[in-house]
């Protein structure tokens, strides 16, 4: 509770004492938005941490070896993530549902365990030092770009592209028969998602003085999936709300102390049971009468 009280009574002190948390919220929101794009087009792709790793390592390496200016390094790293997105997306997008999810998990694990841990230039298991990190001004970059990305994605969902994705999500066959070029729109969604995730990686790398290769594995992807689904993947703001909620969760429930993992697991299950469509999804709470609960009395229709 102290956390919320401080937020409302003394926002300036709150800002300075929680900069790391605020930038984390921004990064997580961007990542959740990256997942939103693929979920919105009906694909359960879990590749975000992989593209994030590409963006992070590429931007830092370009900074160290070529001394590129920050904006250029960000742009180049993000573009690289997009290119890898095309290369990975072309073969993978023939798969659907759980198969796509597992294939993308294979991709991120092969990338983090097979490549990053075994190529000398990435610093292998020790992590990559990033001497030019700037946690102070980095936070502004993160917050501004979060807003810009969310706005752009919202515009996209309201356009031709968004309608096509929506149609594909609801019924791929029907979308195909309406003349929508399904593989093309799926690839576009996958690549946009890769670009956003790559940008999140570059932005996050700018905040920390060391890149930890273990950050880009399956636990991260599970976390991001949880943000997106818990928040509700039907609207742009849903995943952002999910990221916000789950990132500040440990601070709201500070009393839970060491048991925060147990408490957050319980809350996660309760939220998803009563709001299967996500926090911002449509409809009210999903209450279902248990079998042992008495039925409400039904009055017989009067025949008089």
Partner 1 sequence: MGQQILNAIFIGSIYALFAVGYTLVFGVLDILNLAHSAVFTLAAAVAYTLVVNHGQSFWVACALGIVIAALMGLVIEYLCLRPLRRRRAPPIAALISTIGLALIIVAAIEQGRPGTLFSWLWVDGANPVTMPPGTFPNPTWNVAGLTLEGAKLAVIPISIVLMLILGYVMRFTQVGRGLRAVAENPRAARLMGIDVDRMISLTLVISSALGGLAGILFGVALGDISPYIGRDSVEVRGLAVIVLGGMGSIPGAVLGGYVLGAIEVLAVVLLGSNVRAGVAFAALFLMLVLRPQGLFGAQLRERL
Binding site for partner 1 (CB under 8 A): 44, 91-92, 94-99, 101-103, 105-107, 109-110, 113-115, 117-118, 218-219, 222, 225-226, 229-230, 258-262, 264-266, 268-269, 272-273, 276-277, 286, 288
CB of 47 to partner 1, least distance (A): 11
DSSP for the chain? -HHHHHHHH-HHHHHHHSHHHHHHHHHHHHHHHHHHHHHHTT-----HHHHHHHHHHHHHHHHHHH---HHHHHHHHHHHHHHHHHHHHHHHTT--HHHHHHHHHHHHHIIIIIIITT-GGGTGGG-EE-TT--HHHHHHHHHHHHHHHHHHHHHHHTSHHHHHHHHHHH-HHHHHHTT--HHHHHHHHHHHHHHHHHHHHHHHHTT-SEE-GGGGSHHHHHHHHHHHHHH-TTSSHHHHHHHHHHHHHHHHTGGGGGGHHHHHHHHHHHHHHH-TT-TTSSSS------TTSPPPPPPPPP--
Considering the complex, state which of residue 17 and residue 170 has its C-beta at the smaller distance from partner 1. 170
CB of 68 to partner 1, least distance (A): 29
CB of 182 to partner 1, least distance (A): 13
CB of 291 to partner 1, least distance (A): 10
CB of 293 to partner 1, least distance (A): 12
Considering the complex, state which of residue 26 and residue 231 has its C-beta at the smaller distance from partner 1. 231
């Amino acid at each position: 509770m102290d956390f919320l009280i401080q937020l409302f009574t003394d926002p300036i002190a709150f800002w300075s004492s929680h900069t790391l948390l605020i930038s984390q919220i921004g990064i997580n929101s961007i990542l959740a938005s990256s997942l939103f794009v693929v979920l919105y087009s009906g694909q359960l792709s879990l590749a975000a941490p992989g593209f994030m790793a590409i963006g992070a390592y590429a931007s830092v390496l370009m900074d160290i070896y070529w001394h590129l200016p920050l904006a250029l390094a960000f742009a180049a790293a993000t573009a690289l993530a997009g290119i890898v997105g095309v290369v990975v997306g072309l073969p993978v997008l023939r798969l659907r549902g759980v198969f796509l999810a597992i294939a993308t998990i294979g991709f991120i694990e092969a990338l983090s365990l097979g490549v990053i841990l075994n190529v000398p230039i990435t610093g292998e298991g020790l992590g990559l030092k990033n001497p030019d990190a700037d946690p102070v001004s980095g936070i502004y970059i993160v917050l501004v770009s979060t807003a810009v990305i969310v706005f752009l994605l919202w515009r996209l969902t309201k356009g031709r592209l968004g309608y096509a994705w929506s149609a594909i999500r609801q019924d791929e066959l029907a979308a195909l028969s309406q003349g929508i070029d399904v593989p093309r729109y799926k690839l576009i969604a996958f690549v946009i998602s890769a670009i956003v995730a790559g940008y999140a990686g570059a932005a996050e790398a700018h905040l920390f003085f060391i890149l930890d290769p273990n950050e880009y594995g399956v636990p991260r992807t599970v976390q991001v999936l949880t943000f997106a689904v818990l928040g509700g993947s039907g609207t742009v703001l849903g995943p952002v709300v999910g990221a916000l909620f789950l990132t500040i969760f440990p601070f709201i429930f500070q009393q839970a102390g060491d048991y925060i993992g147990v408490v957050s697991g319980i809350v996660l299950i309760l939220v998803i049971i009563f709001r299967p469509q996500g926090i911002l999804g449509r409809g009210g709470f999903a209450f279902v009468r248990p079998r042992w609960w008495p039925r409400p009395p039904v009055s017989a229709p009067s025949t008089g």
